[in-house]
Structure 1
Amino acid sequence: MMEYLLVALQGCVVIGAIVLGVRTGGLGLGLWGVVGTVVLVFAFHLPPGSIPVDAFFIIIAVITASSAMQAAGGIDYLVNIASKIIQRNPKRLTYVAPLVAFVFTVLSGTSNIFFALIPVIYETSYRNGQRPERALAASTVTSGLGITASPVSAAMAAYIVLMDGTGYGLPQILLITVPAAIVACIATSFVQQRLGKDLLDDPVFMKRVAEGTVEVPAALQERYAARVGQVATSAGGAGPVSGGAAAGGAAAGGAAAGGAASRGGAKATPVLIEHPVPEGGATAAWIFVTGTLLIVLLGLFPGLRPAFPDAEGELVPIGMSTVIEMVMFSVALVIILVRKVKPSLVVEQPLLRAGFVAAVALFGIAWMADTFISANEETIIEPLGAMIEANPLLLAVALFIVCGLTTSQSATTNTLIPIALAAGLAPGIITAMWPSLIGVWLFPANGSQIAAVETDLTGSTKLTQVPIWHSFTIPMLVSWVAVVIAGLLIQLVVPA
């Protein structure tokens, strides 16, 4: 009984450190993780767990290359391409925007790139008279799917290290997560396209129009004027419509919208939102993308990697962790030299700051989790592992909930994946469940969610008083179910 009590107390330390880290925010998550490790070691005399050196330095390497690309204008170049694709497909926006958000997260290894796309998606949907919530919420969610499908994301760095020795390397992982995520993107868009009222039927939007806080877009001006006229006619005011209510509607619609209506309903051609790209931005972006593709190539064909004899004298290719670190640090240097970027400017980039926070969070939480798990395998991990082995879907639920609570995909990966591996769960099944990290959107505690809500002046993208019920809830759940089901089916044909 005393043994179980001690394990429970240690578990409280782990959970308490995570909760306090989430409340502190930023570096706090990683620092509280280290403090939790200190308590476990000094107060409970647990042997320190393995320090996640490889995962930490993979993140550092990737964010260094990403920050060099950002300093050279490469991120601006990628955003410019993404915004053009989005704006040139307005009628299929709810399908195109989520796929674009996913692909560009995969290429850059971070969903931070999505921040720059939020106003583009909003303006494109609003100008074309669409409900912005549909494309905004779906794109926000699917950008998170890109994390588990990117060879250069922080979560992938942690996952590759954990899966080392299981027969599942980067190629097998991507063969499952990438197509499963694409299926989830399409399923999410299909459902999202059918959610919510059209703008002219949305009372929140119409109230904002009446208050003058938002204009009726030109694409809806004719229908809005006709509706105002019908309301006035039914109220016995057919005569004064043009001078009263209809005129008020035109005023609410703004000068541009009124001009479009006055020209016989001719639709004005929307002006594309331009994202200026610094000179050399394209070069920096392509250097980074080339490095990413090189990593994938070396993962797919181990024979291309240098091989060295192991303890038994057999030639073994160098690990993918080493490959990623070498390639990404080299990419950073190539960008700095080719584009003549000052190293001091790289250090000042927002991506580097965000990536460093992610690396520290991974370091602290992973170290604490490994300390706790390694010391309690017989007492709690084996029974928990047996439960997961008997019902693998519990892993998907655990990943979803824990990621929602911690808002950290890499920390959740390091906390739960070792338990699944200890339970003897097949690597393919674990990989299929791993994109359950989409639960990061469970609570509206992420910058992308807040930015999407604040950008949408129509009021269609919203939060509620119930923390887990917001505009992102349904697309998140649809993505979760779709990506796990697709992954479980795909893993059946992926060779180990």
Structure 2
Amino acid sequence: MIWIQLAVLISLILVGARMKGIGLGIMGAVGLLIFALVFGLKPTTPPIDVMLIILSVVTAAAALQAAGGMDYMVSIAEKILRKNPNHITWLGPIVTYTFTLVAGTAHIIYSLLPIIAEVATKKRVRPERPLSISVIAAHMAITASPISAATVALTALIAPLGYELTDIIMVAIPATVIGVLAGAFIASRQGKDLMNDPEFLERLKDPEFVKMLDGESDGKSEKVFSVASKRSVYVFLIAVLSVVLFAAVPSFRPTFLIDGKMQPLRMVEMIELLMLSAAAAIVLVAKIPAPKVSQTSIFRSGAEAVVCIFGVAWMSDTYLQANMPFFEANLSEIVTDHPWTFAIALFVMSILLFSQAATVRALMPLGIALGIPGPALIAMFPAVNGDFIIPSYPTLVAAMGFDRTGTTRVGRFLVNHSFTPPGLTTVIVTVAVGFLIATILL
């Protein structure tokens, strides 16, 4: 029966992933209904903490976007990239990583990808190189950002084990940075040099194509940003730093008498309060209409993420809890002796779910139940970045679309595309380095 239930779960995940948008969430609800009515499985508690914390972070980021703060941050990145065109394969991923780390979402890179493609093309650097690793870097930064949906989801799950947000980021940030640099090294040697690429040389025979490549904007016309948009960035950065500060120093949080003992406010509630307050401050400082926040693309995407986690995580958690005796009897010895094998499960699940946060919420509870130590779970956390394997994720599609030379593309066998070599390298190196750092620090 357990295998039939698993087949139902995977089938509905695949259907939901193909639907995109809120597909995973609504198909997850269908799966849970089947589990309850057909198999008699008792639904577990919905992931309320995770959903609320994601919604609060998304609200702050959406307020920043509505105030023009996101555009201001992108303009800063554009200046950096255009001033150093010869190092675009290294600077591109550094910029996308940094901006995703601060913003907590990879959506910010859509405005950066055409700039990276343009700068690379004009310097006759194969655009596939900086574009591929820049996308991978943004995805990896999601698992290092203190305010990303995936990180806050893991924070809520491992808090009972005695580990805080600071434990996650002090392992994830250096590990992902090293992993991204390793990926950039692989990307810098990917494919032929642009001026030796037969397909590109053939395209150069078309005068219109050459004109299109070299006639694009050179970035000299600088957009003027309002004081309010700049202030919104400052408010957002202060909020992000406050999250890290309150996580690092629990004594700064308000304390309450619980079961006869003074205990600090949970970091889950602290993040929610800080980010919602940041959204309020941005609305007031930038003097933007509050309804404008919910109309942004970030808010819509965030709302979709909440619905997806609601359905698919609830379904997965119900399945795992109902069959936990089976998993404990058959898997606990393997993952205890070889914890890194759980990273493979995380990677494979992320390929199916197309979401780091949904993967964390769906599978990390199993790792905790199987007795995998907290430091090992933190080290394996970046393994949830397998969403690049099937090249249909929006950031990958956008990168391929912005490459006018056609070097960033899908291979004959679908998975052998431009993002696979730097992506696999980055994930493997990051997890390996994460284990090393976690062993030393945690």
Q: TM-score, normalised by structure 1?
A: 0.86
SS at match of 1:194: coil
CA distance in 1 between partners of 2:411 and 2:220 (Å):
33
Deviations 1:139-189 (A, max 9, x none): 011100111101111111211111121121100000100000110121111
Mean CA deviation greater in 276-285 or 319-328: 276-285
Superposed, which structure 2 residues align to 1:212-231 within 5 Å? 212=207, 214-215=209-210
Task: Evaluate the alpha carbon distance shift between residue 390 and residue 274 of structure 1 in structure 2; reply closer, same or farther with a 3 A threshold.
Answer: farther
Kindly state the Cα deviation for residue 275 of structure 1 after the two structures are TM-superposed.
Answer: 5.2
Kindly state the Cα deviation for residue 274 of structure 1 after the two structures are TM-superposed.
Answer: 4.2
Deviations 1:329-383 (A, max 9, x none): 1011111111111011111100000000011111111111111111111123442
- Matched to 2:129, the amino acid is R
Deviations 1:410-459 (A, max 9, x none): 11111211111111111111111110122111110111111111111111
CA distance in 2 between partners of 1:191 and 1:465 (Å):
21
Superposed, which structure 2 residues align to 1:361-400 within 5 Å? 361-400=308-347
1:289: which partner in 2?
237
Is residue 2:78 matched to residue 1:108?
no
Contact 1:80 1:276 in 2 (8 A): no
Deviations 1:295-319 (A, max 9, x none): 00000000101111222x1111111
Superposed, which structure 2 residues align to 1:304-323 within 5 Å? 304-311=252-259, 313-323=260-270
CA distance in 2 between partners of 1:277 and 1:47 (Å):
54
Task: Evaluate the alpha carbon distance shift between residue 364 and residue 275 of structure 1 in structure 2; reply closer, same or farther with a 3 A threshold.
Answer: farther
Task: Evaluate the alpha carbon distance shift between residue 289 and residue 44 of structure 1 in structure 2; reply closer, same or farther with a 3 A threshold.
Answer: same
**Equivalent position to 1:459, from 406, 411, 421:** 406
CA distance in 2 between partners of 1:493 and 1:307 (Å):
31
Mean CA deviation greater in 295-304 or 363-372: 363-372
CA distance in 2 between partners of 1:322 and 1:314 (Å):
19
Is residue 2:83 matched to residue 1:68?
no
Deviations 1:243-267 (A, max 9, x none): xxxxxxxxx987x79xxxxxxxxxx
CA distance in 2 between partners of 1:140 and 1:213 (Å):
29
CA distance in 1 between partners of 2:154 and 2:74 (Å):
28
Task: Evaluate the alpha carbon distance shift between residue 275 and residue 111 of structure 1 in structure 2; reply closer, same or farther with a 3 A threshold.
Answer: farther
Mean CA deviation greater in 57-66 or 272-281: 272-281
CA RMSD of aligned residues (A): 1.8
- Matched to 2:161, the amino acid is T
- Matched to 1:296, the amino acid is V
Superposed, which structure 2 residues align to 1:110-149 within 5 Å? 110-149=105-144
CA distance in 2 between partners of 1:281 and 1:271 (Å):
20
1:16: which partner in 2?
11
Contact 1:396 1:433 in 2 (8 A): yes
Is residue 2:299 matched to residue 1:299?
no
Task: Evaluate the alpha carbon distance shift between residue 382 and residue 171 of structure 1 in structure 2; reply closer, same or farther with a 3 A threshold.
Answer: farther
Contact 2:228 2:285 in 1 (8 A): no
Task: Evaluate the alpha carbon distance shift between residue 488 and residue 38 of structure 1 in structure 2; reply closer, same or farther with a 3 A threshold.
Answer: same
- Matched to 2:255, the amino acid is A
Contact 2:122 2:213 in 1 (8 A): no
- Matched to 1:157, the amino acid is V
Task: Evaluate the alpha carbon distance shift between residue 158 and residue 253 of structure 1 in structure 2; reply closer, same or farther with a 3 A threshold.
Answer: closer
Provide the aligned length of Structure 1 versus Structure 2: 442
CA distance in 1 between partners of 2:236 and 2:414 (Å):
38
Is residue 2:322 matched to residue 1:356?
no
- Matched to 2:249, the amino acid is F
SS at match of 1:471: coil
- Matched to 2:256, the amino acid is F
**Equivalent position to 1:419, from 345, 356, 366:** 366
Superposed, which structure 2 residues align to 1:405-416 within 5 Å? 405-416=352-363
CA distance in 2 between partners of 1:17 and 1:253 (Å):
44
Unaligned 5+ runs, structure 2: none
Contact 1:30 1:362 in 2 (8 A): yes
Contact 1:109 1:150 in 2 (8 A): yes
Contact 2:213 2:404 in 1 (8 A): no
CA distance in 2 between partners of 1:492 and 1:274 (Å):
47
CA distance in 1 between partners of 2:31 and 2:207 (Å):
52
- Matched to 1:106, the amino acid is L
1:188: which partner in 2?
183
- Matched to 1:282, the amino acid is K
Mean CA deviation greater in 146-155 or 379-388: 379-388
Kindly state the Cα deviation for residue 324 of structure 1 after the two structures are TM-superposed.
Answer: 0.6
**Equivalent position to 1:200, from 195, 200, 215:** 195
Deviations 1:8-53 (A, max 9, x none): 2221221122111112111011111111111111221111112101
Task: Evaluate the alpha carbon distance shift between residue 321 and residue 376 of structure 1 in structure 2; reply closer, same or farther with a 3 A threshold.
Answer: same
SS at match of 1:309: strand
2:439: which partner in 1?
492
Kindly state the Cα deviation for residue 213 of structure 1 after the two structures are TM-superposed.
Answer: 5.4
Task: Evaluate the alpha carbon distance shift between residue 273 and residue 115 of structure 1 in structure 2; reply closer, same or farther with a 3 A threshold.
Answer: farther
CA distance in 2 between partners of 1:172 and 1:102 (Å):
20
Contact 1:72 1:278 in 2 (8 A): no
